[in-house]
Structure 1
């Protein structure tokens, strides 16, 4: 949590702080949300409660629709985008719903809180040849003076990029994989996604080859007693940190000339788009990505339509 948010939280009256603590525990233990998601939700509601205190409120009973609306309006005057406002409203509604369910308030005041719908932007994706170039860059030949540790890290980096593009899984899902989560014979990953939902995700031959090389030549050079069953390891032998995984993907993409820096999530978007362009149905892509709603997956149809329009404009004689 940012220092500013921590300071605001520490200054809350005890009654509000207690309600916030209970809601945070609900998000973590009962809804089983990720640490990142919980941090974002709590940061929004700390801001809301600070606003409530400034309006003279001291308990959640003082939280009414006027306070919610003025809080969102204040954010808009400070430059909050539509998507930020929509997210903050969703955080507030989650909080007020918990207050009502737990008996802390007589009604759920957030039910009447409306907010602008976030603009749905098309995800950044790589063209198929750009994705191929990134993978080739990641697998470039080693330097002549490369030592065993450098070799291990290079082989790991190759596997990270290959698996992200081959499977379309999230970075958090990737670094959470254990060795036993990989069915090497059938080329399947057992992935634990959002909400602790498990799914099986296939991967192709190049990723399988990178996996075998990592397990035989790379991982043993980094493994320590603290490695446990983690598939991917950091330089000190512990489980690979998501931030390091993101950094190395950005580095591989940045090292590829003419390729937009879409990052790890861009590889996920690219995988989904290329699978759809190859003829897969939307339901299959939904299962591949682990989306709870088909509506989330449908954004990729807009991506492929935009590409089709661009190709048509370039190639059709009467475009």
Structure 2
């Protein structure tokens, strides 16, 4: 783990099947000990709890799980309904698990069996990265994923949608306007924004330190913000003095019930959802401003590798997908 990382003990009582399975518990424990992000560990636990439920229903022995059993598991995943709230509007997967969720569930199971192989508990991993298929023309063999991967282009608001969003944002609190401005200026992910600390600010040079433990790639970066965001930040800090129960967290809850506590990811998601619905732009999300910033950087002439470094991307392909939608939209 890095110097800034802290070990987070998994919440075992929420996952009884993992807790009662020594292999699964040891694997999750190793993931946490290696310093994986707590959201990643939580996602792996949800995936493993589901797989263990599948295995229990079919009386499967994990040590002798076959590829056929994994195929049955994938088939069952494809029929599982998505758990969405009553106000959900996404219909891309027809009410079933999204492609990204399928990939995530299968990845967790594959990594678990890799752990069992490394520990000498099983000989082969039944969840291969792909399955061999032959070409009808050349006879050559290639890898085809068990679940075909789809990459959705990020949503970028039109001029009309952006105008509507700005009109709604004008009536938001100082905190929310400041957070929205910084999310755009610094292309921040939700976790990076909500977990900013006062000590991460460098107001003299208008810079933000994004700590490694809050990032997806576990790499620290320093990013600038605009003079407009600086003014919003100064206004918010004046208000924050009356809320500051927590001296470390930059953005604090304004709710009477949790006033002064660090803002949660869930609270910020609800703020964004409320803005999206009032602006009649339901696709607006906590990630939209990050994509919009990266798109604008590409439009202004930044090179792909420069944008990748600014965004904290480990892969240029990720950066390319982030800005591709903006290029297509600008060409119409």
Query: In 2, distance between residues paired with 1:135 and 1:179?
Result: 27
1:300 matched to 2:322? The reply is yes
Query: In 1, distance between residues paired with 2:323 and 2:19?
Result: 48
SS in 2 for 1:264: coil
Superposed displacement of residue 162, structure 1: 1.0
Contact 1:135-1:161 within 8 A present in 2 as well: no
Matching residue of 1:250: 273
Q: Against the structure 1 CA distance between its residues 18 and 132, is the aligned structure 2 distance closer, same or farther, given a 3 Å change threshold?
A: same
Query: In 2, distance between residues paired with 1:93 and 1:308?
Result: 40
1:107 matched to 2:130? The reply is no
Q: Residues 212-249 of structure 1: CA distance to partner in whole angstroms, max 9, x if unpaired?
A: 1112x21101112xx02111111321111111122223
Would you tell me which structure has more helix in proportion to its own residues? 1
Contact 1:126-1:260 within 8 A present in 2 as well: no
Superposed displacement of residue 80, structure 1: 4.2
Superposed displacement of residue 35, structure 1: 2.5
Provide the aligned length of Structure 1 versus Structure 2: 285
Contact 1:48-1:68 within 8 A present in 2 as well: no
Query: In 2, distance between residues paired with 1:208 and 1:273?
Result: 22
Matching residue of 1:284: 306
Q: Against the structure 1 CA distance between its residues 6 and 71, is the aligned structure 2 distance closer, same or farther, given a 3 Å change threshold?
A: farther
Query: In 1, distance between residues paired with 2:19 and 2:327?
Result: 52
Tell me which of 32, 50, 55 is aligned to 2:58: 55
Matching residue of 2:40: 37
Query: In 2, distance between residues paired with 1:293 and 1:105?
Result: 32
TM-score, normalised on structure 2?
A: 0.77
Query: In 2, distance between residues paired with 1:298 and 1:104?
Result: 40
What residue ranges of structure 1 are gaps of 5+ in the alignment?
141-152, 311-319
SS in 2 for 1:194: coil
TM-score, normalised on structure 1?
A: 0.80
Contact 2:217-2:313 within 8 A present in 1 as well: no
SS in 2 for 1:230: coil
Matching residue of 1:266: 288
CA RMSD between the two structures: 2.6
Matching residue of 2:76: 74
Q: Against the structure 1 CA distance between its residues 267 and 84, is the aligned structure 2 distance closer, same or farther, given a 3 Å change threshold?
A: same
SS in 2 for 1:251: helix
Superposed displacement of residue 6, structure 1: 7.5
Tell me which of 150, 161, 171 is aligned to 2:180: 161
Contact 2:187-2:311 within 8 A present in 1 as well: yes
